[in-house]
Structure 1
Amino acid sequence: MLKKIPTSQVRLGMFIQALDGPWLSHPFWKTKFLLGDASDLEALLRSQVPAVWIDASKGVDVVAAPQGSPVAAPAPVSAAAVPPPVASVRVPAGAEMEKAAALVNRSRQQVMNLFGEARLGKAVDAEQCLPLVEEVASSVARNPSALISLARLKTKDDYTYLHSVAVCALMVSLSRQLGLDEAQTREAGLAGLLHDVGKMMMPLEVLNKPGQLTDDEFTVMRTHPMRGFEALQDGSAVPASALEVCLHHHEKMDGSGYPHKQAGEQISLLARMGAVCDVYDAITSNRPYKNAWDAAGSLQRMAQWNGHFDPRIFQAFVKCVGIYPVGTLVKLHSGRLAVVVDQHASNLVAPTVKVFYSTKSQMPIPVELLDLTRSTDRIVGREAPGDWGFKNLDEFWTQADKH
């Protein structure tokens, strides 16, 4: 049975069905959960949430006072009586692939609908985006490589929509790497999802042009941050941070970006983060006018673009995606070739790989999953799949693996 109660009456053991007030002001990513952690209760009581809905059939109920008696403070529930809270435990990338693939498919349609309404001139309601941001954040918490890598495989037709989902995921991962709190991380994810909404105001023949843009066409495209900013200003529940990222994700640290040629600390933290996430996903994806660069090579090129990115943020970003991102073809010291299938949380040069080919015999070998943190073998360099004639490497890491 659902009941709405003041936040002051909440106690351990209650099942929270919903929280009143804007989602961005909530202390939790989750919206439905059993309140079993004392720190979560404390956070809720300290928050600005005025009231909550509880489901008494799934948790403890409000203590009823006898008629005519003063209401006594509810007795605390013993820790033993409360099931432990469900935490996001990091899982192998292969175990997250199936969930991440389903999320990519759902998010494509959601963002298509959102952007379609924006193209028709309808105001953007940020609160409608928040459940998707929460789903993305949950997947990233379980394993960031799965969703980020799958979103990179978008087709040229899907680019505009899935680019926003990918940047959302990258922003969430980068926020956590930088130590931002969950409220800031939530706003970063929302900003990533909405950063390119201005492209919906661009002429379709320019947006989807299969070749390089002319100078005049590029001048038109350079208006998309301002057009997006104006559209989001007319929307509801869009935080200032999302407006900043939308308007300034094409600024550069040396002041040579657009639209306002901001430099250094003039660019907000989230906009500097957005610049890195936006460029990385753009250059590692197939676009109407350009084929994707490989992920590891893209990081190497980005590192050489002096004056473009905040060095501290870029270093944190590399830790998020890895020196050898998922899908990278690498050569091992043993002479074998392997595909990176997962990152190690603390060792960037020793990911988990699938070994499948011997350069010595020039022949395929039985596929072997190898955690390089537990092996005497090591990576000696990256290889270009085209140089070896490999055209199906994605199947080595996109398949769900629950073992």
Structure 2
Amino acid sequence: MSSIHEIPVARLQVGMYLHKLGGSWLRHPFLRNSFLLDDPKDLQRILESGIHSVWIDTSRGLGLDAEDDAAAALAEDEAPEGAADALTEAEREAIAQDRMPAPAPRSAGLVALHAEIERAREICLSGKQQVMQMFEDLRLGNSVRQDGVLPLIEEMNASMLRNPNALISVARLKTHDDYTYLHSVAVAALMLALARQLGLDPAQTKMAGCGGLMHDLGKAFMPLEILNKPGKLTDEEFAVMKTHPQAGARALQEAGADAGVVDIALHHHEKINGRGYPHGLRGEEISLLARMGAICDVYDAVTSVRAYKAPWDPSGAMREMARWDGHFDRRVFNAFVKTVGIYPVGALVRLASEHLAVVAEPGGDSLLKPKVRVFYSLRRQQKILVHTLDLADPACRDSIVGPENPEKWGFTNLEALWL
């Protein structure tokens, strides 16, 4: 008798092992489908997600008692065909095949990631220099003009049309010394990619990129001893730093920047639950561009080297951000995950074959099946000859079990495996 059973979500209990979460991946708040349900908060999130049924594995966790099991079977048998709350055929097939929602259509002129890396490096260097110059101009009392960054935004957009991941991946590689400037470049790249995923028109996409590049210009007005402090800020210092959105928005408005660009600078620290700053806006009170900016800003911040903390690995960042209820717009965050991938380039992953690998390039049609560079044997506890594995290849028998933390293994310079 099979240990896999489909049950109504109302019968789910802490201690059960989730084999599959029912429905589309975008309808549940987790970045994985299989795990032991050992946290009551996770149970509550599932109950509130709109999912109607789940698959449990009774060989790995609690099952239903005999009475509940019979009731569940009866309820399933009596469910009318085509009921409004039933899983669609496409959803059932997606669960069976373990497929994820497809990313936005790609350009026919797409080039391989490695072919775009060098151009992406040059764009990042140029962008860093331009952001540094804008900071210097503002500190000297000069104005900055939005049209001055348009050529760079056009160049960034062209790079992302050739390969949407090269620029995002390269921009994430920064030291704490150049964080302030390259962070702006990285956020601009993420905003451009997210705008495309959301289907924004060219004008809106360009505005998203400009807003991303200029979102932190208010930091030019912050005291250098606070901006460059190597440790955590005190409450008093943080109160000063929290004024940078207004300072940046004011400078951009005085320079005649578009309203959307000003809004990103002013409201990229707002939260959906109203607990952000500077105005404590809630939900739809926050513009779409600012909601996008909030996600892109946080993702790059937590995955970057800072003077006072180590970076989170990309997959871990996605997982943690997904847990921050009330922080981000759920629809925009789901689009963001599809933009950069559940396992972004550079992520360390564990394979079913008991190897460790680094994601080298996203999969063509599946967020779960990227190309990886396998370099470590868990059985032998040693590095092996590096080789590339395309998990989306029908002939490939391997798969990703889940993300791994590089710090746990003491790995450094993993970017050498995909650059």
Query: Aligned to 2:353, what secondary structure does the other structure show?
Result: coil
Q: Distance in 1 between matches of 2:150 and 2:179?
A: 21
2-side partners of 1:346 and 1:313: how far apart? 20
1:190 equivalenced with 2:201 (yes/no): no
Say whether residues 1:129 and 2:149 are aligned partners: yes
Residues 1:389 and 2:410 are matched in the alignment: yes
Q: Does 1:212 align with 2:232?
A: yes
Amino acid at match of 2:398: D
Q: Is the 8 A contact 1:88 1:141 kept in 2?
A: no
Distance in 2 (alpha carbons) for counterparts of 1:387 and 1:216 = 34
Match of 2:123 among 82, 89, 103: 103
- Structure 1, unaligned runs of 5 or more: 1-86, 399-403
8 Å contact from structure 1 (residues 340, 397) kept in 2: yes
Tell me, in whole angstroms, the C-alpha distance in 2 between the residues paired with 1:389 and 1:263.
41
In the alignment, what sits opposite 1:320?
Answer: 339
* TM-fit CA distance, 1:154: 0.7
CA shift, 1:331, in A, is 1.2
State whether structure 2 residue 139 is matched by structure 1 residue 115.
Answer: no
- Normalising by structure 1, we get a TM-score of 0.75
Residues 277 and 251 of structure 1: CA distance in aligned 2, closer, same or farther (over 3 Å): same
Task: State the partner residue of 1:360.
Answer: 379
1:250 counterpart (251, 264, 269): 269
Q: Is the 8 A contact 2:364 2:392 kept in 1?
A: no
Give the aligned length: 311
AA of the residue aligned to 1:97: I
Describe the SS at the equivalent of 2:176: coil
Q: Structure 2: give runs of 5+ residues left out of the alignment.
A: 1-106
The one-letter code of the counterpart of 1:344 is G
Alignment of 1:162-173 (within 5 A): 162-173=182-193
Q: 1:180 aligns with which of 200, 203, 210?
A: 200
Between the aligned partners of 1:393 and 1:372, the Cα distance in structure 2 is 19
2:398 to 377, 380, 397: 377
1:165-206 Cα offsets, whole Å, 9 max, x none, are 000000000000001111110110001011100000000000
In structure 2, what is the Cα distance between the partners aligned to 1:195 and 1:348?
Answer: 29
- Bigger drift between 328-337 and 249-258 goes to 328-337
Q: Secondary structure at the match of 1:258?
A: coil
Q: How far, CA to CA, are the matches of 1:202 and 1:387 in structure 2? A: 36
Q: 1:144 aligns to what SS in structure 2?
A: coil
Number of the residue aligned with 2:308: 289
Task: Measure the CA separation in 2 of the matches of 1:359 and 1:182.
Answer: 47
Kindly state the Cα deviation for residue 142 of structure 1 after the two structures are TM-superposed: 1.6
Corresponding residue to 1:235 among 236, 239, 255: 255
Aligned position for 1:340: 359
**How far apart are 1:107 and its partner, in Å?**
1.5
CA distance in 2, matches of 1:140, 1:212: 35
TM-score (norm 2): 0.73
1:389 Cα offset (Å)? 2.8
Alpha-carbon offset, residue 88 of structure 1: 6.9
In the TM superposition, structure 1's runs of 4+ consecutive aligned residues that sit over 6 Å from their partners are none
- Give SS of 1:364's match: strand
For the 8 Å contact 1:169–1:189, the answer to whether it is kept is yes
- Look up the equivalent residue of 1:393 and give its one-letter code: L
Answer whether contact 2:313 2:406 (CA < 8 A) is retained: no
Contact 2:215 2:264 in 1 (8 A): yes
Q: Deviations over 1:48-90 (max 9, x none)?
A: xxxxxxxxxxxxxxxxxxxxxxxxxxxxxxxxxxxxxxx7722
